[in-house]
Structure 1
């Protein structure tokens, strides 16, 4: 399981003394633990599923990506570099992301499958796509591609 792999990798990093990896994996494990506590508080089984673990990892990766961009805009290259290194460490545990071309192809197939005709069908298309692409593609990118694809219908 992914959660166990992260724990094992933290132990290895501790032995190797890689401080960036140690702090990043500790942060990730802390986020996973917080998610477990949140689930327990809602009266659910606290053990995270693989999908929930990936969701937490994607949120952590998104935070690093946004921070990296903000630091670059503010000319804080030292901090941007730190965020980039953390992002690289987290990305190792995420499923391979689909390319923009692969996403476009899946979007077109989905639009044809449900017979979407206009931007009014955006919600239907996105709902289906996110079930299929969850964890495999950036939601923001998928949303942009769907909008662009549906704009062509409303001519």
Structure 2
């Protein structure tokens, strides 16, 4: 039986604590705090699903990428590097990214399955695609590819 994403994060926190990896421990605790906050927002005694945790981690990574760009533009390479090292740890818990070929294949399948022929049907294509690409592909890139194929 494989560990759930939440169990993996909790296990890594314990391992980091035992091995004295302070930076890693700090990052993992930050991730757990985000997960707990999201669960609290969801409601009393709520638990996040694997997909919700992946979505949360993907959102954290997007924000960190924006921060890296801002820090780099501002000449603060030290802060940009700190964000990059945090991103490396968070990416360990993300599903394997899809290749360009896999994304293109899923898009072709989605268009076929939804019988989409124009940009008006882009919503139904994205609705079909999103669960299959969540945390594994940048939705903006997927959306742009779908739009281009549907003539939007």
Q: TM-score, normalised by structure 1?
A: 0.87
SS at match of 1:61: helix
Please give the residue correspondences for 1:40-79 in structure 2 after superposition, counting only pairs within 5 Å.
Answer: 40=43, 45-79=45-79
Shift of residue 149, structure 1, vs aligned partner: 1.4
The correspondence for 1:3, drawn from 3, 6, 13, is: 6
The correspondence for 1:29, drawn from 29, 32, 35, is: 32
Aligned residues: 149
- Partner Cα separation in structure 1 for residue 50 and residue 117 of structure 2: 36
- Partner Cα separation in structure 1 for residue 83 and residue 67 of structure 2: 7
- Partner Cα separation in structure 2 for residue 58 and residue 83 of structure 1: 14
* CA gap 1:102/1:38 in 2 versus in 1, 3 angstroms: same
Asked if the contact 2:54/2:134 (under 8 Å) is kept, the reply is no
* CA gap 1:114/1:49 in 2 versus in 1, 3 angstroms: closer
Deviations along 1:57-84, one digit per CA (max 9) or x if unpaired, are 2222222122112212222111111111
Q: Partner of 2:20 in structure 1?
A: 17
Shift of residue 9, structure 1, vs aligned partner: 0.7
CA RMSD of aligned residues (A): 1.7
Q: Partner of 1:100 in structure 2?
A: 100
Once the two structures are overlaid, the 10-residue window that deviates more, 139-148 or 126-135, is: 126-135
Gaps of 5+ in 1: none
Q: Partner of 2:109 in structure 1?
A: 109
- Partner Cα separation in structure 2 for residue 98 and residue 34 of structure 1: 29
